[in-house]
Amino acid sequence: MLLGKPYNHSVMFSSPRFRAQSMRQHALGLPIVFSLLVVVILLSLRFGALRIDTGTVANAIWDYDRSDHRQIVVRELRLPRTAMGILAGACFAVAGALTQGVTRNPLGAPGILGINAGAAFAVVTAIYSGGITNPAGYVWFAFIGALGATVLVYVVASAGSGGATPIKLALAGAVISALLGSWTAALLLLDLETLDQARFWLAGSISGRGTEEAVLLFPIIAAALLLALFMGRQVNALSLGDEVAKGLGQRISITRTVAGVCVIALAGAAVALAGPAAFIGLAVPHIVRSVVGPDYRWIILYSALLGPCLLLGADIIGRVIVSPEELQVGIVSAALGAPFLVYLVRNTKMTEL
């Protein structure tokens, strides 16, 4: 049974010696991932249609000279793009980790809760009815669409007894995604112009997105990320199953609601910023889990750091590989993440659920 069974590693939490040892190892890993992130950020600022050396990048940040066109590229294009990548990557990955823990489904990802479908539907509807005139417009429509769809999924899944159980959430999410997806498809087929405009957004990209909107969304993202980082213990209990969580004195419904709010805020913001590039949300937590084990306190933290690495890495590859043109980050991240996921599936015990 894929749905409804926890990652059963309860034994691992039991030995104090093991715990102390793994704590130390996990803490040691942090600087490594952190330096990886720094390297990726630097590469993201340097590479593109125009290659820029590290000195110029440093100047653009600390000693900005408006007459140097390379510094302008760094400051006006690559910095915002990189920041967008960091935000979206962290959001997708953490939202994915929370979803997998709370729904106890290895396929759990924000996409399963209808977030991508909702955002895509709202954006395509807005394009179709002529509501979007500038790139910034996408952000709000996508955010509202993602929010609306996920709230709907939660409401539908909470109907009946027992509240929003994992399997009901997954089913409701699949239904509503398919429903919205079909309407989106119909709109795209009705109007060639809509298809032409929407297909680029639908591919997922972090270039030329609305920076001001990102600044407005930032407090929401920061609050949700912070909350998520402190939820590890609760998610651990939930991931062992409802019974165990109750036995450990958890109030399941509260944890689930708070986690749900976090996921909605994070994934909604990420989709709004980067488009439906949500494969990262599925892949990163699995990658992290294969290294740090089943403890969600670490999974969430590492996901927050590794998500941006993967998203920015994908973005850089997309810029370089068909230069001077670009491949959208959604395409590259899926092309990179998928083989990795398959590799993990083949070589770890993750699938023995």
Select 86 or 334, whichever has its Cβ closest to other proteins: 334
From CA 35, how far away is CA 32, in angstroms rounded? 5
The least CB distance from residue 205 to other proteins, in Å, is 10
31 binds other proteins (CB under 8 A): no
179 binds other proteins (CB under 8 A): yes
189 binds other proteins (CB under 8 A): yes
Are the C-beta atoms of residues 281 and 111 closer than 8 Å to each other?
Answer: yes
Applying the rule CB under 8 A, the residues between 33 and 92 that interact with other proteins are none
Q: Which two tokens stand for residue 38?
A: 């720094």
Residues 254-266, buried b or exposed e (16+ Cβ, 10 A)? Answer: ebbebbbebbbbb
The residue among 311, 313, 316, 291 whose CA lies nearest residue 301 is 291
192 binds other proteins (CB under 8 A): yes
The least CB distance from residue 347 to other proteins, in Å, is 9
The residue within the footprint of other proteins, chosen from 149, 188, 237, 311 (CB under 8 A), is 188
Stretch that binds other proteins, among 12-20, 266-274, 305-313, 323-331 (CB under 8 A): 323-331
185 binds other proteins (CB under 8 A): yes
# chain residues binding other proteins, by CB under 8 A: 57
165 binds other proteins (CB under 8 A): yes
The least CB distance from residue 230 to other proteins, in Å, is 29
In 122-266 the beta strands, taken as DSSP E runs, fall at none
In the block, residue with structure tokens 């302008």: 72
Are the C-beta atoms of residues 99 and 115 closer than 8 Å to each other?
Answer: no
Give 186's contacts (C-beta < 8 A, 6+ positions apart). Answer: none
Residue type, 237: A
HSE of 9, CA atoms in CB hemisphere, 13 A: 19
Site string for other proteins, 282-311 (x = CB under 8 A): x-----------------------------
1 binds other proteins (CB under 8 A): yes
The least CB distance from residue 315 to other proteins, in Å, is 14
The residue within the footprint of other proteins, chosen from 149, 301, 311, 334 (CB under 8 A), is 334
Give 283's contacts (C-beta < 8 A, 6+ positions apart). Answer: 96, 310, 337, 338, 340, 341
The least CB distance from residue 171 to other proteins, in Å, is 5
11 binds other proteins (CB under 8 A): no
167 binds other proteins (CB under 8 A): yes
Q: Which two tokens stand for residue 5?
A: 């069974």
Instruction: Decide: helix, strand or coil at residue 337.
Output: helix
Q: Which two tokens stand for residue 134?
A: 């500038």
Stretch that binds other proteins, among 72-80, 143-151, 236-244, 326-334 (CB under 8 A): 326-334
Q: What is the largest CA-CA distance in the chain?
A: 66
The residue among 351, 302, 278 whose CA lies nearest residue 112 is 278
Residues engaged in binding other proteins (CB under 8 A): 1-3, 106-107, 156-157, 159-162, 165, 167-168, 170-172, 174-176, 178-179, 181-183, 185-186, 188-190, 192, 195-196, 199-200, 202-203, 279, 282, 327-328, 330-332, 334-335, 337-339, 341-342, 345-346, 350-353
